[in-house]
Amino acid sequence: MYDLGYFRNHLDAITARLADRPFSVDVDAFRKLDGERRAAVSEAEALKAQKNAESAEIGKLKRAGQDTADKQQRVRELDELIAKLDDRASALDTEFRDLMSGIPNLPHESVPVGKSAADNLEVRRWGAPTEFKFEPKPHWDLGPDLGILDFERAAKITGARFVVYMGLGAKLERALINFMLDVHTKEHGYTEVLPPFAINSASLYCTGNLPKFEADLFKLQGTDYYLAPTAEVPVTNLYRDEVLDLDSLPIKLCAYTPCFRSEAGSYGRDVRGIIRQHQFQKVELVKFSKPEESYAELDKLTADAQDILERLGLPYRTVVLCTGDMGVNPAKTYDIEVWLPGQNEYKEISSCSNFEGYQARRASIRAKSGKSKAEHVHTLNGSGLAVGRTWLAIVENYQQADGSVVVPEALRSYMGTDIIRGVK
RNA sequence: GGAGAGGUGGCUGAGUGGUCGAAAGCAGCGGUUUGCUAAACCGUCGUAGGCCUUUAAAGUCUACCGGGGGUUCGAAUCCCCCCCUCUCCGCCA
């Protein structure tokens, strides 16, 4: 959501930059609707002012003991007129809001122009793709062979795109969660949050998941609650409708949650293994920043996520998403892609974004210090990391010729073992 | 699930039909006083939208006292529904 005054006054520049996404702002429709809406509001408000004045008059006359029947009748008639104008004004206002909330965020000036993932800009590469003296297997073979992943039973108890982790597989997931939370809280300065996993529609609206992406969510029947698609939603909404102390910024939070996504529209993509599931675990990083510091904070947040991969010895690269590949809500996004030998490619394991004031305006998250007027903060978030994808990256990168998996040094104290062998 | 009490500005809290966008206090901001600090005193201090204006400010209007509907010429105040918080009872990991 844009600031209306800013949007009006920078219409040409905004329209030009959004064309890079590509998104075409219907400028004529905007101007027309904005004009009609303002005219309708003015008209209705003028009548309301008249009505309020007459009502006050009636009060005075009554206290003076005079008859006011005529005046009351006139206000009643005025009221009918106002009701009609109000209906029109609010209909136009709703239409206008829908138009505005459908306009994607303005890409930051540092975001490269491009059409697809092929145009993303690589900004960092760490390590080299793992080399093997044998043919590496994908995790969907390694996992079941080791008895640590069970797709068939997951399909039985729930359905497709769910998985059961068994034994050391379950423990590896838990170890990763604890490892990530420990590094972020003890060394990167984040405060741990454990939010509700079910969230209401207002929260989803503020982060931009609703109304546009309702189809991607699981809704709890008979309630206004949805299963969280990411901890970004509950954690960003922590300070919805609040005025924070500017001096307390940046606020740095991290949260472990399961994430639930219906994956509507992704049929046929990543169908094998645990790359794309209806439920996956994630440790999320969220920041509330001063506007002037938000890009420095984005770089730090991205570095915090990369640090996890480096400690685990997993090769990765980081790209800036180009205008054509980024989501509608962020102003800038870094994707961190981990090397997966089983697929022979780099695959997204974290997405770190600066939303600037786009979410904060929807959610009314502001900050002030003493003399300053409350201003909207900038919100940022990124995966730190997607646990399931980290799990499979370890299994694939640390696999041995005999099918066992070496546990990365950093996880051994959490795992209580340095190797995962088959239980059969 | 049952019974009761509540939800008012950044915070605390008064306000049961018109003079209420809302007392008072705290915090903040500007100032006076003052070796410094503290204190005291004076002033100021909500948000959004419309009009006016080149913009902003100022001015003015509209809306907002948990959310939605209703009664009334007029609602923070009365009525209905919902949400949330607290207390007690029941149930329960």
Q: Distance (Å) from CA A373 to C1' B27? A: 15
Encoding tokens for residue A163?
């998985």
The Cα–Cα gap between A31 and A99 comes to 11
CB A354 within 8 A of CB A406: no
Q: Distance (Å) from CA A58 to C1' B72? A: 13
Q: Distance (Å) from CA A368 to C1' B30? A: 17
The Cα–Cα gap between A134 and A128 comes to 17
CA nearest to A285, candidates A265, A303, A261: A303
Query: For position A366, what pLDDT does the model report?
Result: 86
Domain range list for chain A: 26-101, 117-420
Strands A251-260 and A191-193, sheet pairing: parallel
Nucleotide nearest to A52 (CA to C1'): B74
Nucleotide nearest to A372 (CA to C1'): B29
Q: Distance (Å) from CA A42 to C1' B77? A: 29
Q: Distance (Å) from CA A241 to C1' B13? A: 21
Strand B–CB A240 distance below 7 A: no
Q: Distance (Å) from CA A245 to C1' B76? A: 29
Q: How confident is the model over A175-226, as pLDDT tens digits?
A: 999 999 999 999 999 999 999 999 988 899 888 888 788 889 999 888 888 9
CA nearest to A2, candidates A92, A102, A94, A95: A102
Q: How confident is the model over A34-50, as pLDDT tens digits?
A: 999 888 888 888 999 89
- Residues 351-390 of A, Cβ under 7 A from nucleic strand B: 370-371, 373-374
The Cα–Cα gap between A191 and A179 comes to 15
Strand B–CB A5 distance below 7 A: yes
CB A304 within 8 A of CB A184: yes
Show the low-confidence residues of chain A (pLDDT under 50): none
Query: For position A310, what pLDDT does the model report?
Result: 98
Backbone angles phi, psi at A68, to 5 degrees: -125, 15
What single-letter amino acid sits at A159? G
Strand B–CB A214 distance below 7 A: no
Nucleotide nearest to A44 (CA to C1'): B62
Nucleotide nearest to A370 (CA to C1'): B28
CB A249 within 8 A of CB A286: no
Q: Distance (Å) from CA A197 to C1' B1? A: 25
Q: Distance (Å) from CA A265 to C1' B91? A: 43
- Topology at the third CATH level for domain A26-101: Helix Hairpins (1.10.287)
Backbone angles phi, psi at A242, to 5 degrees: -125, 155
Please report the DSSP string for A101-142 in residue order. HTSPPPPPTTSPP-SSGGGPEEEEEES-----SS-PPPHHHH
Query: For position A424, what pLDDT does the model report?
Result: 55
Q: Distance (Å) from CA A64 to C1' B24? A: 32
CB A137 within 8 A of CB A272: no
Query: For position A423, what pLDDT does the model report?
Result: 66
Looking at domain A117-420, its CATH superfamily turns out to be: Bira Bifunctional Protein; Domain 2 (3.30.930.10)
- Residues 76-105 of A, Cβ under 7 A from nucleic strand B: 76, 79
Strand B bases with any atom < 7 A from protein Cβ: 10, 18-19, 28-30, 46-51, 56, 61-63, 72-74
